[in-house]
Structure formats: structure tokens, C-alpha cells
Chains A and B, each alone.
Chain A
Amino acid sequence: MADPAAETPLTPERVFREFAPRVYHLARRMLGNDADAEDVTQDVLLQVVRKLDTFRGEAAFPTWLHRVTVNAALAHRRKRAGRESHEIHDPLGHFDGDGLHGRPVKRWTMRPEQIVLAAEQKQVIERAIAELPEMYRDVYVLADTQQLPNAEIAELLGINLPAVKSRLHRARLMMRDTLAPHFEENYE
């Protein structure tokens, strides 16, 4: 059966109502701050609603919106080049010379199949994403918040598939390390 929402025409009002939060949060997570995300969201929404009557094939609309948003966020970042100040830590740096874990690995209070996030935990995760170096953050945001396929991420960012996977894996390891102290079980 056809999805009734898919049959509703794409109007500026509908784009604003349904897609503005998605654009805003994608831009915010890529750029790491609210003010830049607001600029990008406004640019993207105006760009999109101006071209709505030329757009054909609504099924492809989210893909198009991702492309416009990612391009706008990357362009915005280029304009403010030089502001990146994140240090890159090596997430594999804590293994000893024999390839063993060099520090204890603890369980977390949450399991992958039982996720309920409190407001402060959401903030911790958002902060950890913002602290990722940009080249890893972009891939992580597109893969693990937007849940885009790796091939689409490669196309959006203009990098090859092995680079997407390598950056994604490193980003996940960095995120795991940053989040661990906040989520580890307390054995005391």
C-alpha cells in the first residue's frame, strides 16, 4: 500500500515542518556549533524551497536534501577554515607491545539492545561527537546518526569506500573511548 505521506505534495510548508530539524541537526553535528548550524539551515531551506517546483521524484528528496546540506556545511566550514583545534588521539594507542589491552576494559551500564537515554547522556554523546576531528566526525555523523550507506557517504564526501570504512571505524573507537568513563559500570 502506498504511504499517504509520500503522496502529499512537497510544499515549502511541508519541507519546513518535516525536514528543517533534520537539516539543522545534521549541520550542527558536522559543524559542532549551533550558530553555524542555523546559518546553514537557513541557506539550505531557502535553496531547497526555491527549487521545489523543478524537483521531480519525491522518493529521492531525502538524498537530495542530504547532498545540499552536506555541501552547504562543508562550504561553511571552508569559509571559517583554521578554527579546528581538536587533537587527534590514537584509539589503538593503549595496546601494549604484545597487542594486549594495556588498561582494563569494563562493561557499560547499557547494552546495545537496551538503550534508553537520559537528557544528560544525550548531551555527553553530542559533546563527544563535537570533539571528534572533522575528517572523522563527518563520516561518523553521516553513518551513525543519519544511518546512510557507506557508498552514499563516499559520494557525498568525495572519498573512496575504504577511506569511509577506515574513518568510520576510527571514529567509533574514539567515541567509545570518550564515552567509556561516562557509561562504565562502577564495580565499587
Chain B
Amino acid sequence: MRVKCREVVELLIDYIEGELPESKHITVQQHICGCVPCAYYLETYRTTIAITHALPDEPLPPEFEARLRGVLDSWKKELANVG
């Protein structure tokens, strides 16, 4: 059974995670093999995920790190006084 481009795009999340029933997976795969816009769409959908995965957790902004360190040190002193 043929599928349209819109339906292929709607199914991409299940397609890339291998969660479509086998017959549907094959139908989507065949569509993508014969449709350049959908092939590019799938590739850029995957790239969107990959570039987001690649975002690093940079170190804290230095001013905030210093302020946070101060709060932590105050808490430690408070704790030592209570103890």
C-alpha cells in the first residue's frame, strides 16, 4: 500500500526507533527510497536529534559559580556551627 509524504513524516519517530509493524516499516522504507524530499527530510530529522545530543553542558558561568560556591560554603559553616 502506498503512503503519502505527510504520513511518512508523521511516522518518522516510530520508523527510526524500529517500532512500526514490519509491513508498515517496509512501506515507509520503500517510499523513502523513491522520494528524494522524504529521504532528505529523514536525514535532517536524524541530524536534528544528533546535533542536540552533541550539545555540551559547558562549565557554569564563572560569576554564578563563585556565587554558588559562596552559598555552599555558608551552608557548610552553618552546619559546622550547629554540629
Contacts and interface: CB of A to CB of B under 8 A. Distances in A.
A155 interface: no
A20 B43 CA distance: 34
A176 interface: yes
B71 interface: yes
Interface residues of B, number: 42
- Chain B facing A: main interface SS: helix
Interface string A141-173: 000110100000000000000000100110011
- Chain A facing B: main interface SS: helix
Which of B43, B44, B53, B67 has its CB near the most chain A CB atoms (within 10 A)?
B44
A175 B40 contact: no
Contact of B75 (A25, A49, A108): A49
Interface in A101-130: 101, 104-108, 110-113, 115, 117, 121-122, 125-126, 129
Contact of B55 (A20, A100, A117): A117
Nearest to B13: A169
Interface residues of A, number: 51
B47 A111 contact: yes
B48 interface: yes
B26 to A, nearest CB: 19
Contact of A175 (B41, B52, B59): B52
Interface of A: 12, 16, 20-22, 24-25, 34, 38, 41-42, 45-46, 49-50, 92, 95, 98-101, 104-108, 110-113, 115, 117, 121-122, 125-126, 129, 140, 144-145, 147, 165, 168-169, 172-173, 175-176, 179-180, 183
